[in-house]
Structure 1
C-alpha cells in the first residue's frame, strides 16, 4: 500500500514550486521564439486583439509538450541542487533513506506529466495545430493596414496608386497628395491632386474615407469613336472633395480543410490510417509503373529491323542484338543510335517525373511515421529528463539559477540537436525513420540511468577536485603548502626532539641523493621490469610530513613560512608507471609510448633530486630558526 509521508510532501512541494515557475518561463521563451518566426506576418495587418489572443493561445497549446521536458529538467536540477547545497540531501541519506526513495514522489508526478504530454500531443495538439496553421494562413491573406509612406507610390489598395510627399505625424494630415484611380481601366484613369488631405477608415471597415482640400481632378472621357485620335478629358478644380474607396479589412478565417494532408494535425489513429492509405496508393502506383515499364520500356529497337518472318521460321528463342546491329549498314546504324538516344532521353524524362510522384508519397509516409513515434518519444522525454536532472543536481549540489540553468540549456541543446538531426535524416530516407525518431531517447536514456546509478552510489563523477588531482598527476603539477598560524594550539612543539629528527631527515636525504645519482638517465630495462616501490623515499616523505605537522603548532610566523617551503614528494613516479610488472613491460615494448614514459620518469628523478636539496636547505633553516627561538627565550 502506498503511503504518503511528510518527506514525500516536502520533496514534492519543493519540486512543484520550482516547476511552476520554470514551466511558464520555458513556455514563454518558446512562444517568443515562435512569434519571432512569424512576426512579419502579424505586423501591419491591423489585427484585432481577439485574433492576437487566439494566436498566442493556440501557439501555447502546441508548445506545451516541448516545454514540459525542459521545465522538468531545470526544476529537478534546482530542487535536488538546493537539497545538496543546504545539506538536506545528506541528512536524508544519513537517516538511511536512499536517493531513489527520496525521488519516488517526483518520479510519479513526472510519469503523470508524461501522460498529460501524450494526451496533449494526441488529442489537443492536433486540433490546436490545425487551428493555428489555419489562423496563420488567414493572417497571411489578410489585407494590410493602410500606412502610406512618404515619397513612395503606395499600391496595396487594389486599383489605386497613392503618392504622399509629406505626412504630419501630430495631426495626421497628408501634404501634396497624388492619386491614380485605375478602377475603371487604365485608359479611363482618374487623377486627383490635392494640396492636403486626410484618410480614415469607416466604421464598418469596408471603405476608406478620403478628404482632399485645394486640388484638381483629371478624368479621361470615353471616346465615341474607336478610331478617334483625340481623347477628351475633364478637368475639375475643387476647394474640398470627399470620396470613398473600397477597402475591406475585416479578418476572415479561411477553410482549413486544405491542411488535412499534414501529419502534425492528426492523432495516432488518423496517422495509422493515413499510412495505410498512402502505402496502398504507393503500391498501386508502383504496380502500374512496373506494368507500363514491362510493356513499353524493355523493347528492342533493333528487333524491328529483323525480318519477323525469317525469325518466326527459324524459331529463334534468343537474338544476339550485337550481331544484328553489326550486320546493318552505316546509315542504318546511325539511325538506330539516333532513335535509341531519343528514346532514352524520353524515358529518362518520363521516369524522372514518375520518380518525383513516388518520392513525394514516400516522404509523406516517412513524415507520418515520424510524427506517430514523436508523440511517444516526447512524452518519455519528461521522465528521462527528470532522471538526468535530479541525479545531476544531487551530484553537483548547486541550487539557484546559476549552474542549473547553464547545465539544463546545454543538455537540452544536445537533445534538440540529436533529435532534430536524426529525425531529419530519418525523414529523408537515409536512415530508418523509427531509429531516427528514437535516437535522442536511445542516447539520453542510458545517460539518465548512469547518472542515477552514480548519484545513488554517492559517486564523485562530477567532483572537480578529483579531475584536478588527476590532471596534476598526469602533468606533474603539485600543490604548494599553505600553513597559517593557529588560533588555538593544544600541543606545543618539542623543539629539542624536532632538531634531532631534522638532523636524521637531512642525513637520509643526502645519503639517498649521493647513492642513487638521480640526475643521470635511468636504466630503460629496469624501468619497465621493476614494479617495486621506493620505501626509502616513502619513509622520507612520511618523516617530513610528521615534522611539518608537529611544527605547524608553533606560534612563530617565520618558522611557519619556512615550513611552507617543504615540497610534496611523489614516492613512486620516479620508479615505474604501473604496479603490474607485465603491464610495465608491455608499455616498454611499444617504442614510442615507452620512450615517452622513460623520459617522463627521468624528469621525475631530476625533480626528486631538486626536492631533496630543498628539503635539506629548508630543514637547516628550520633548525636555525629554532635555535633563535631558544636564544630569545633565554634572553627573556
Structure 2
C-alpha cells in the first residue's frame, strides 16, 4: 500500500514542482528582461542567477506540489473505486492517510534542509551577481518620487525617470559635505536633468544653495554640469547587510537578539522575529498542505469528480498564500506576535485537516 501510494504521488508531485518553478522563474525573468534587452546584460549571467534562485523557489513550490499530488492521487483512487475496494477488503482509512502524511513530512524535511543549508549560500551568490550586474549595466537602483538616504550626509529625491533612456529629471540633493569639510546645514543641489554614466551621475543645469542658521540663503551659484560619484554608495547601501533569506536560522536569531540589545525600534525586532519563524513555517507548510488535502481528496471526488481536486487545489493555494502574506504583514507591524504571524496559515490548515481526518477515522 505504501509503495503504491508513493508511486501514484511521485508523478503529479514533480509535475507540480515543475509547473510552479516555471511560473516563478518566468516572473523573475520578467524582472531581468529590462537589463537583458535594453542594457545588453550577459545572458549567461542572467541564466546563472535564475539557476541559483532555484533552491529558494523549490522551498515555495513544495507545498503547492504536495497539495496537488495528494488531491489528484486520492481523487483518482476514489473515482476508480479503489478506495471502495480497500474498504471492502477491511483496510481502514488510516492505512491510506498515514503513508500520505509521512510523504508530507518527508517533503517538509527536504524543504527545511534546503531552506537552512542551501538557500542562504545560493542567495548570497545571487546578491554578488546582482551587484556586479547593476554596476556593469548602469541600472537605476531606486524608484522616482522617493526620498533616498545614502548616508548621514547625503539624501536625494528624483522627480521622474525615463524608463527608456534612464534620464532623471528634477533632481534635488541634500549634501552636508563641502570642500572645506562638513557643513553645519545641508546645502541643496538641484539639477534639471541627470544621467548615470558608468559609476557617476552627470548633472546638468545645476543650482547650489547654502543656508545659515536662520534658514536664509547666503550662497547661490549656477553650474552648467556637475559630476556626482554615487553609484557605488547606492550599491553598498542596498547590498550592505545580509537579508533574512541570506542567513541561516541561527544567524538570524542572533541578529534579532542584537536588535534587542541595541534597543532598536520594536518594529525592527518584530520584523526580524517574523522572518525567523517563517524560516521554519514555510518549509513545514508541505506537511500541513498534505494534511488538509488528504481528507479533501476523498471527499471532493464524491461531489465533483476526479478532476475537481485541481480546482480545489488552486483555491487552497490562493487561501494559503493570502493567509501567509496577511500574517507576515501583521507580524512585521506588531499587530500580532511574530510566531503567530508566521505559523497562522499552518495552524489554520492543520486545524481544518485534523478535523476532516477525524471524521474519516472515528
Alignment TM-score, normalising by the size of structure 1: 0.40
Q: Is 1:264 matched with 2:245?
A: yes
Match of 1:447 among 352, 355, 360: 352
Q: How many residue pairs align between the two structures?
A: 272
Which whole-Å deviations, capped at 9, do the CAs of 1:416-468 have from their partners, x for residues lacking one? Answer: 111111211111122222221121122111111122223446xxxxxxxxxxx
Q: Match of 2:277?
A: 373
For 1:138 and 1:44, how far apart are their aligned partners in 2?
17
Which whole-Å deviations, capped at 9, do the CAs of 1:164-204 have from their partners, x for residues lacking one? Answer: xxxxxxxxxxxxxxxxxxxxx9xxxxxxxxxxxxxxxxxxx
Q: Is 1:92 matched with 2:86?
A: yes
Match of 1:29 among 14, 23, 26: 23
Check 1:267–1:125 CA distance in 2 against 1; reply closer, same or farther (3 A cut).
Answer: same
Q: Match of 2:77?
A: 83
Deviation at 1:18, TM superposition (A): 1.5
Larger Rg belongs to: 1
CA contact (8 A) 1:134 1:255 kept: no
Deviation at 1:155, TM superposition (A): 7.2
Which whole-Å deviations, capped at 9, do the CAs of 1:219-241 have from their partners, x for residues lacking one? Answer: xxxxxxxxxxxxxxxxxxxxxxx
Which whole-Å deviations, capped at 9, do the CAs of 1:130-152 have from their partners, x for residues lacking one? Answer: 2223333433333269xxxxxxx
Match of 2:255 among 274, 282, 287: 274
Deviation at 1:262, TM superposition (A): 1.9
- Higher RCO (CA-CA < 8 Å; seq separation 6+): 2
Deviation at 1:16, TM superposition (A): 0.8
Which whole-Å deviations, capped at 9, do the CAs of 1:535-556 have from their partners, x for residues lacking one? Answer: xxxxxxxxxxxxxxxxxxxxxx
CA contact (8 A) 1:107 1:386 kept: yes
Check 1:155–1:121 CA distance in 2 against 1; reply closer, same or farther (3 A cut).
Answer: closer
For 1:127 and 1:363, how far apart are their aligned partners in 2?
27
**The residue matched to 1:405 in structure 2 has which SS?**
helix
Q: Match of 1:164?
A: none
CA contact (8 A) 1:58 1:132 kept: yes
Q: Match of 1:572?
A: none
Match of 1:389 among 278, 284, 293: 293
Q: Is 1:436 matched with 2:341?
A: yes
For 1:387 and 1:81, how far apart are their aligned partners in 2?
15
Q: Match of 1:421?
A: 326
For 1:82 and 1:389, how far apart are their aligned partners in 2?
13
Q: Match of 1:131?
A: 125
For 2:121 and 2:44, how far apart are their aligned partners in 1?
19
Deviation at 1:72, TM superposition (A): 0.2
CA contact (8 A) 1:80 1:393 kept: yes
Which whole-Å deviations, capped at 9, do the CAs of 1:16-55 have from their partners, x for residues lacking one? Answer: 1221111111221222233334433443222323212212
CA contact (8 A) 1:79 1:399 kept: no
Q: Match of 1:408?
A: 313
Deviation at 1:399, TM superposition (A): 6.3
Looking at secondary structure, tell me which structure has more strand per residue. Answer: 2
Check 1:443–1:156 CA distance in 2 against 1; reply closer, same or farther (3 A cut).
Answer: closer
Q: Is 1:12 matched with 2:9?
A: no
Alignment TM-score, normalising by the size of structure 2: 0.68
Alignment of 1:44-123 (within 5 A): 44-123=38-117
For 1:92 and 1:155, how far apart are their aligned partners in 2?
67
Which whole-Å deviations, capped at 9, do the CAs of 1:50-79 have from their partners, x for residues lacking one? Answer: 212212112222111110001000110000
**The residue matched to 2:40 in structure 1 has which SS?**
coil
CA contact (8 A) 2:104 2:286 kept: yes
CA contact (8 A) 1:81 1:396 kept: yes
For 2:111 and 2:62, how far apart are their aligned partners in 1?
8
For 2:358 and 2:21, how far apart are their aligned partners in 1?
31
Query: Structure 2: 5+ residue runs without aligned partners?
Result: 140-163, 168-201, 203-234
Q: Is 1:141 matched with 2:135?
A: yes
CA contact (8 A) 1:66 1:378 kept: yes
Which whole-Å deviations, capped at 9, do the CAs of 1:592-625 have from their partners, x for residues lacking one? Answer: xxxxxxxxxxxxxxxxxxxxxxxxxxxxxxxxxx
For 2:131 and 2:280, how far apart are their aligned partners in 1?
29
CA contact (8 A) 1:394 1:455 kept: no
Check 1:78–1:127 CA distance in 2 against 1; reply closer, same or farther (3 A cut).
Answer: same
Check 1:433–1:367 CA distance in 2 against 1; reply closer, same or farther (3 A cut).
Answer: same
**The residue matched to 1:96 in structure 2 has which SS?**
coil
Check 1:255–1:156 CA distance in 2 against 1; reply closer, same or farther (3 A cut).
Answer: closer
Question: Any runs of at least 4 consecutive aligned residues in structure 1 with deviations exceeding 4 A, and if so which?
Answer: 154-157, 254-257
CA contact (8 A) 2:120 2:247 kept: yes
CA contact (8 A) 1:45 1:142 kept: no
Check 1:127–1:268 CA distance in 2 against 1; reply closer, same or farther (3 A cut).
Answer: same
Q: Match of 1:463?
A: none
For 1:156 and 1:34, how far apart are their aligned partners in 2?
21
